[in-house]
Amino acid sequence: MSISERQANIRIVLVNTTHPGNIGGAARAMKNMGLAELYLVQPKEYPAPRAVWRAAGARDVLANATIVESVDEAIADCGLVVGTSARERRIPWPLLNPRECGEKIYLEAEKHKTALLFGREDRGLTNDELQKCHYHVHIPSNPEYSSLNLATAVQVLAYEVRMASLADEQGNLPSLTDWDQPPVSAGDLEYFHEHLATTMADLKFYDPENPKQLLTRMRRLFNRVRMDEMEVSILRGLLSSVQRTIKK
């Protein structure tokens, strides 16, 4: 299967981009590598002529871009979400290198929507945004100057998706493991986390005013597990039953 057959399932998400030139540059980088689906979360200045100039022959990618209000909205229907990071973060998270990231996104895009998140030019993605991701990916740049230009980072990771598709054409990629249920979407997973947090608060297992670390740990746990739709609906049923019991 070629990359163009998966195009609609591989989404590049740019969060709160400041410079419209970077949006155009990202669109061009995408089209060069065969990608087409661009989501913009609250871009600072958009539409803008500078975005169009930088997009050059990829104006169609810009013209078809979807503008949304939040990261949640951008990833709600995705079964795999990968966040990019220019530096190491405090809480360790499952990591992919760019090659593994390209392969994973390419393989999973055969079955469901996937998203690759890119942060703000000045401060990247927030911790909350990074915690919505199954994996983080870091381009192994010079540790003394690790932050790439946003559109350049898009280029590197889009290139890796293309390399995965070329490897697949030559029969050099494993196939996706068969599974009986689709993975839970990021949107449904978000509802699950809300439900879990309310239930834990009802149980007085945690104080909503206080330890946020618990919720982070729970997010990391469930992102690592990669639950399917059926598993989430079982757990939500369990939470509802716990809530009914304590309210009696």
Among 139, 158, 186, 232, binds ligand SAH (CB under 6 A): 139
Query: What part of residues 140-179 is at the interface with ligand SAH (CB under 6 A)?
Result: 141, 146-148, 150, 153
Work out how close the CB of 155 gets to ligand SAH at its nearest, in angstroms, rounded to a whole number.
11
Among 6, 113, 138, 219, binds ligand SAH (CB under 6 A): 138
Work out how close the CB of 153 gets to ligand SAH at its nearest, in angstroms, rounded to a whole number.
4
Give the 3-state secondary structure of residue 93: coil
Cα-flanking dihedrals φ and ψ of residue 115, to 5°? -135, 145
Please tell me whether the peptide bond between 47 and the residue prior to it is cis, using omega within 30 degrees of 0: yes
**Binding string, residues 175-214; x marks residues near ligand SAH by CB under 6 A:** ----------------------------------------
Cα-flanking dihedrals φ and ψ of residue 118, to 5°? -120, 140
Question: Whose Cβ is closer to ligand SAH: residue 147's or residue 216's?
Answer: 147
Query: What part of residues 43-102 is at the interface with ligand SAH (CB under 6 A)?
Result: 84-87
216 lines the binding site for ligand SAH (CB under 6 A): no
Question: Whose Cβ is closer to ligand SAH: residue 163's or residue 235's?
Answer: 163
Question: Whose Cβ is closer to ligand SAH: residue 75's or residue 232's?
Answer: 75
Sheet bearing 37-41, strands edge to edge: 66-68, 37-41, 10-15, 114-118, 80-84, 135-137, 95-96
- Cα(60)–Cα(128) distance, integer angstroms: 32
Shortest CA distance to 16 belongs to which of 139, 177, 98, 124? Answer: 124
Question: Whose Cβ is closer to ligand SAH: residue 155's or residue 223's?
Answer: 155
- Cα(82)–Cα(64) distance, integer angstroms: 22
Locate 222 and state its tokens.
């469930």
Residue matched to tokens 């995965």 = 164
**Binding string, residues 101-130; x marks residues near ligand SAH by CB under 6 A:** -----------------xx-xxxxx-----
| Overall size of the chain counted in residues | 248
Please give the size of the binding site for ligand SAH, defined by CB under 6 A: 19
Question: Whose Cβ is closer to ligand SAH: residue 86's or residue 163's?
Answer: 86
User: What's the burial of 170, exposed, middle or buried (CB within 10 Å: 0-12/13-18/19+)?
Assistant: exposed
Binding footprint of ligand SAH on the chain (CB under 6 A): 84-87, 118-119, 121-125, 138-139, 141, 146-148, 150, 153
